[in-house]
Amino acid sequence: MRLPRALVTAALATAFLVGAGHAPQAVAGELPADTGFFTDPDSQVNKWVAANPGDSRQPRIASRIASQPQAVWFARYSPSTVTADVRKVTSAAASKNQVPVLVAYMIPNRDCGGASAGGAPDLTAYDAWARNFAAGLGSGSSIVILEPDSIALISCLSSSELSARYASLARAASAIHAASPKARVYFDAGHSAWNSASVQASRLRSAGVLASGDGIYSNVSNYNRTSNEVAFAKSVLGQLGGSGLTAVIDTSRNGNGPAPDNAWCDPHGRKVGENPTANTGDPAIDAYLWIKLPGELDGCAGAAGSFSPDYAYELAG
């Protein structure tokens, strides 16, 4: 995975530790088609646009990328401030009657030591971080993208470590729902050119998606065509049976489809895809979202998560 960017009540803590099951909060198509998603004024691209009004690349980046609602990533370990950091986003979104998309990206052994290695020091620390994250969500609607790559990329984990990760993901989702009943939590389905639908569905089931999730997401930080991802997501959902789960698709960089040889690390020739919308015309697909932030690098053309105006300009073309 590539980086882009309070205490809990006793009842929440008990629900989190027990890992109580969660009946999904919504049925297919419940996310209104006219949902407005949150645009973060503090994103790297918006800060760059504001600071560079005379740059020849600025108009294109501003109109094609900065203007679009995008996810807010919580990827740097700061357990003492994460509640306030999340609350800042959800409060700002609520004031605009918008739905924020938040990415929880803090699982230990994140990215299996790749360009975005990091996360909480251990699962006990992660559990505490997840409770604090949940405490900032508030009473409004939100979308939580739970731990990109945490289920699709497991090659670095022993069987016992994997079981512990799955249990922790389920606890995190349950904590989110206990703290914020209107939050929708989506679990990692990888993407259409990675694991098979049956393999991914089996892993999702083991991670508790049927009891603790509202749906799945695919194509985060990747470039696969929307049509392929929709078909893949539906196949995964089909493998999970009549669960009532739905899916969201990351369309932030898939406008030209995948790069030759499926290169994933800052490949050239890619474009942004469909604008974020909940009006997908498909009851199984809740939304197309920009989860990976266009212009923020994967770790080859610069540090993972750093903003490159050159790369943003190319994507916006």
Which residues are catalytically annotated? 111, 149, 298
Q: Which residues neighbour 242 within 8 Å (Cβ) at sequence distance 6 or greater?
A: none
Asked if residue 134 lies in contact with residue 179, where contact means CB atoms within 8 angstroms, the answer is yes
d(CA 192, CA 203): 15
Within 10 angstroms of residue 212's Cβ, the number of other Cβ atoms is: 25
Angle subtended by helix axes 197-206 and 226-239, to nearest 10: 50
**DSSP string of 138-164, one letter each residue:** -SS-EEEEE-TTTTT--TT--HHHHHH
Rg (CA), the chain: 18
| The residue count for the chain | 317
Angular region, 166: left φ>0, alpha ψ -120 to 50, beta rest: alpha
